[in-house]
Amino acid sequence: MIAECLREERLAVWDGLIRGESVSESAVGTLIHELVHDAADSERAGTVLLFAAVRYSQMLRPANRWRLRAVLWYWFSQVGTHDRPKGFRMSQLRGCGLADLSGLYLTWPEVMKAMGRNPNDYSVLKRVEKDLTESVEEEWRRLFGETLVTQTAKSQ
């Protein structure tokens, strides 16, 4: 039950990031402290990824924060049952939140177009995912004392 409440807490933080709001590390730091030793890997991964995303959003200059938002729009639209309304327009994404994205299955060019950027520019996606991977690995080592790859191998 606690794990489920914490997941809902994390999703609320994700919603803020999706909207481009500033989220403090301390808000997520509390969630990390709540992680118990025997927490499931998925819970650990979810928390560490969120922490990495919050830290990353703070590293970006305000003018570049759209990059993280674009990647989050893309990721969070790739889950849930397909639910793109008939006649859906990209302009409807303005000010969208977590539940608005679910099931839209946006393509990267669609996300970039909605952001008013070059739809064929995949470099932003590659760069943000690369940076977040490094950040997640670093944070995982700091918290759990082993590499993410080792941990994944053990769990398999």
Partner 1 sequence: MTREEQHEAFIEAIREETAPLEHATHPSNDDLLALLSGDVSNERRSRLHAHLETCSDCRNRWKHLESILQDESVQLRQEACIPSLREKVAGRGTNRQGTFFAWLSVSFRTKTFAAVGSAAAALLLAVGVMAPLMSNTSRETAAQLEALSNEMQAVQSYLVANQTIANSLSMTDITEADLLRFNWANTREYTASVGDSWWTIAENELGNQSLWPLVWVLNAEQARAGPVAPGDTIRLPTDRE
Tracing tokens 């793109």 back to the chain, one arrives at 84
Among 58, 59, 80, 120, binds partner 1 (CB under 8 A): 80
Tokens of 72: 């989050």
Is 124 a binding residue for partner 1 by CB under 8 A? The answer is no
CB under 8 Å to 96, separation ≥6 — which residues?
18, 19, 73
Question: What is the distance between the alpha carbons of residues 127 and 134, in angstroms, rounded to a whole number?
Answer: 11
Among 37, 61, 82, 89, binds partner 1 (CB under 8 A): 89
Helices (H), the chain: 2-18, 25-33, 41-59, 65-77, 98-101, 108-114, 123-144, 148-155
**Closest distance of CB 78 from partner 1, Å:** 5
Among 20, 39, 60, 102, binds partner 1 (CB under 8 A): 102
**Closest distance of CB 8 from partner 1, Å:** 5
Is 8 a binding residue for partner 1 by CB under 8 A? The answer is yes
Tokens of 4: 């489920």
Residues forming contacts to partner 1 in the complex (CB under 8 A) are 4, 7-16, 19, 21, 42, 45-46, 49, 75-76, 78-80, 87, 89, 91-92, 94, 97-100, 102, 126, 129-130, 132-133, 149
